[in-house]
Chains A and B, each alone.
Chain A
Amino acid sequence: MGDVILEMKDIDKSFPGVHALDHVSLEVRKGEVHALMGENGAGKSTLMKVLTGIYTKDDGEIIYEGKNVEFHNTREAQDNGVVIVHQELNMVGDLTVAQNIFIGREPRKGFMIDDKKMIEDSKALFERLKIHIDPTEKMSDLTVGKQQMCEIAKAISHNCKVIIFDEPSAALTEKEIEDLFTIIRDLREQQLGIVYISHRMDEIKVITDRVTVMRDGTYVGTLITKDCTKEDIINMMVGRVIYEKPKEKSMVAPDAPVVLKVEHLNAGKMVQDVSFELKKGEILGFSGLMGAGRTETARAIFGADPKQSGDIYINGQKVEINSPEDAVRHGIGYLSEDRRRYGVVVQKTIIENSTLACLEDYMNGLFIDKGKEKEVSEKYIKELATKTPSSDQLVVNLSGGNQQKVVIAKWLVKNSDILIFDEPTRGIDVGAKNEIYKLMNRLAEQGKSIIMISSEMTEILRMSDRIVVMCEGKKTGEIAIEEASQELIMDKATRNIQD
């Protein structure tokens, strides 16, 4: 490890309603691989976005190569040698490798693009990385791993000094990860400062020199990787003080009937052999890190995405669910994590959204009974305490919490018995959060059964009667609330990764 090349000091950043970064610090030295760890929403990505100029910091300073800097956009950061390799690759599939690497800054010969030089330069880059990729190949013909190498080649072509890898291994095979590590070690040799964001504990141990842990937008600490254990890191990641008391015991009667049984569900890479049961009146928490396959599981059960195999039983009866239409008919309602895209029709009124799932019950012969429709939506506005001037308000004008209530109303109007809440409080302020929690508890008391997918540990512990933990498409644990702890959940959520 050499001198400090980048220092972020006391970085502070707030968004309306959220204190995203609370005096966070990070120090990167030349020739080191520095891991940045933390749960979903800990603020890792925000910190990197502040560094590369996507967000403007409210407070704090960034010292890069001994100078106080502030980049205003990624281009400026790039030109100064700070580059991100994103998890999602930003490549144009129909262009060649060389064209992609030099996009926007093609070497020219008069008016023409100097293809020869571009290809030569690309070859030189690949040589430096000791990899074999033909620069004239079409990008879309390469594997994901090779595409990522091109992205790295593009990064170093900017003559970069600090390179940030944002979950680089998520889409890679084991062999590709090894190749990636070889490259990263080479870059370390060349005295670059490397920031490595990942959830995979074993990778952190293998490739990184130091670990900085963040939690809930704060800086927790920095450790030397070889001196610490996996448990040390997990404890730092989850070791928050819990203000809201976790649920002490399950509220579900031991003899409550099983309303939903899922057996050996398989749907693509993200859902592998998932089985579980949901009881009447139960809130079943689904915990896991980003990309654990929880949303994919929910969507497969709901028929929103095709599944390869697996059986679904509702109230003991085996059912065929091949489309959301089937699922809704069998009494399942799905509340998406992305409300604006999948939950509500924002440019339409509360009334229209409330009856969208069961318009057939609000017909008078061929025609929609608008009186009855208005009546029922107003009933639920009152019952859920949705804040709106009137029932014919466009949903786009409501706050996040109230939009969520409109989605809940939609499924209550349909009288669905099984509700899948996917990140029910994402983007919702604290007060509205508590309301949603109360509402979910009340629904469970009324005999509705709820699957709650949540990335917030406190939410999982506070709401669930039982917790299913997933990791990389597999179910890695099932924990009764009486035995649940943050450490235990995090251990299971990273279990697959460790093996």
Chain B
Amino acid sequence: MKKIFKEQKFIVLLVAIALYIIFALISKDFRKYTTIILMLDTTYYFVLLGIGVTFPLITGGVDLSIGTGMVCYALVGGFLIRDHKWPVIAAMLFCVLFGLLVGCVNGVLVAIMDLPPFLATLCTCMITRGLGTRIANQQAVPWPTAKVAEGWFHNLFKLSINKVKYPTGIIVVIVFVVIMAFVLNHTRMGRYTIAIGSNKEATRLSGVNVKAYHIAAYAICGLFAGLASIGYAAATPTVQPGTGAGLELDAIGGAIVGGVSAAGGVGSIEGTLIGVLVIQLLKTGLPFIGLEANWQQIIMGLVLIGAVIIDVIKQRRAAAM
């Protein structure tokens, strides 16, 4: 039991709760149900991005392409629905597969071609940004709204009955968190992801096909960027071309705050969930207590520095042992 209290994700959970209480005490508007729903709308896709990027982060890498990637998939999906009359379900599937493909490309660049993850995914970040804009013909692309029959996918995240909105996305997110936590802790994929991040060479010399599992970590990340694009389409009335840069940082930041080590080898899906929540609480709550946008950025930066310092101290302690 004592161990649980020492864990970073538990402390971060307390921070999240404390943040919520503080914001709710200061601002009456923050306490409103509509604010919660609004905050959750954006949180869903950030959590999905966060779950995905946790895998490359644990291998000691990173994926910077998930933000622009997510917007790119959403653009292309919407484009297929609007201009090519694809059924929504097919477009959704396409988004996920597109994400998976980009993830695989990242994986090959990193694991086979030995590019630094930062650089490889920075390139795919630019490529997805340009590609989405090109395919969308530089126009904003709307997905069907919740009012029409095609807009059923909105219900996955937010169900309206008699004008009351229910945050069904919580269920979706929790299902994925549970599944991926299981993958990370109870499958070979997860075990090897952690082993690669802890000591890639020792893992290779144990006869593990390190390259394949390394690619798989990025593939999972891409897959979740694809899933996130559906949540993004549901939360964003019209998807704007050329956007998305910077969104990955909220997801990566959330994972780091949630206890994923920047050096690799350590991390959990639950932790990432909680970390992303903290970031989203700050993003939503700070304006409510009267802090302008610049301050939000500064505070978020400070929070991240804090998380990274904790990580560095933990590593130093581990090294000293």
Residues of A within 8 A of B (CB): 302, 304, 323-325, 327-329, 334, 336, 341-348, 352, 356-360, 363, 366-368, 370, 396-397, 410, 414
**Docked CA distance A195–B319 (Å):** 36
Would you list 15 pairs from A and B whose C-beta atoms are within 8 A, ordered by A residue?
A304-B205, A324-B207, A325-B209, A341-B202, A343-B205, A344-B199, A344-B202, A345-B198, A345-B203, A352-B195, A356-B208, A357-B208, A367-B182, A368-B187, A410-B206
CA distance A302 to B192 in the complex (A): 20
Are A345 and B187 in contact, CB atoms less than 8 angstroms apart?
no
Query: In the bound complex, what is the Cα–Cα distance between A43 and B109 (angstroms)?
Result: 45
Is residue B165 within 8 Å, beta carbon to beta carbon, of the partner chain?
A: no
A352-B191, A359-B188, A359-B191 given; A346·B206 CB < 8 A = no
| B144 within 8 A of partner (CB) | no
The 8 A CB mask of B173-214 against A (1 = contact, 0 = none) is 000000000100011100110110011011111111100000
User: Told that A342-B205, A356-B202 touch, could you supply 19 new A-B pairs with CB distance under 8 A?
Assistant: A323-B209, A325-B207, A327-B207, A328-B206, A328-B207, A341-B202, A343-B205, A345-B199, A345-B265, A347-B199, A347-B266, A348-B195, A352-B195, A356-B206, A359-B192, A367-B182, A368-B188, A370-B186, A410-B206
Given contacts A325-B208, A345-B195, contact A356 B186 (CB under 8 A): no
When distances are taken between beta carbons in the complex, the residues of chain B under 8 Å from A325 are: 207-209
- Residues of the B chain whose Cβ atoms lie less than 8 Å from the Cβ of A323: 204, 209
B205 adjacent to A334 (CB under 8 Å)? yes
A357-B207 in contact (CB<8A) = yes
Q: Is the CB of A368 within 8 A of B186?
A: yes
Which residue of B is nearest A304, CB measured?
B205
By a beta-carbon cutoff of 8 Å, the part of chain B in contact with chain A is: 182, 186-188, 191-192, 194-195, 198-199, 201-209, 265-266, 318, 321
- Tell me, in angstroms, the Cα distance from A366 to B189 when the chains sit together: 10
Inter-chain contact B204/A348, CB cutoff 8 Å: no
Tell me the smallest distance from the CB of A267 to a CB of chain B, in Å. Answer: 16
Least CB distance, A332 to chain B, in whole angstroms: 9
The 9 tightest CB contacts between A and B, nearest first, are A328-B207, A357-B206, A356-B206, A345-B199, A345-B198, A367-B186, A325-B207, A324-B207, A324-B205
A348 CB, nearest partner CB in chain B, Å:
6
How far is B203's CA from A284's CA once the two chains are assembled, in angstroms?
26
CA distance A479 to B83 in the complex (A): 80
Nearest opposing residue in chain A for B198, CB measure: A345
Residues of B within 8 A of A352 (CB): 191, 195
Least Cβ–Cβ distance between A138 and chain B, in angstroms: 23
How long is the Cα–Cα vector from A329 to B318 in the complex, in angstroms? 33
A342 contacts B187, C-beta separation under 8 Å: no
A391 to chain B, nearest CB (A): 16
- Among candidates A324, A367, A397, residue contacting B206 with C-beta atoms closer than 8 Å: A324
Q: Are the C-beta atoms of B198 and A347 separated by less than 8 Å? A: yes
**Nearest chain-A residue to B192 (Cβ)?**
A359
Q: Are B207 and A348 in contact (CB under 8 A)?
A: no
Q: Are A367 and B187 in contact (CB under 8 A)?
A: yes
Which residues of B lie under 8 Å from residue A347 when comparing CB positions? 198-199, 265-266, 318
User: Who on chain A is nearest to B315 by CB?
Assistant: A347
Least CB separation from A339: chain B residue: B202
User: Which residue, of B201, B209, B321, has the highest number of chain A Cβ atoms within 10 A?
Assistant: B201
Report chain B residues within 8 Å CB of A397: 321
Complex Cα gap A358–B203 (Å):
11
Residues on A with C-beta less than 8 A from B188 are 359-360, 363, 368
Residue from A302, A341, A356 having most chain B Cβ neighbours under 10 A:
A356
Distance A396 CA – B314 CA, assembled complex (angstroms): 14
Q: How far is the CA of A414 from the CA of B198 in the complex (A)?
A: 21
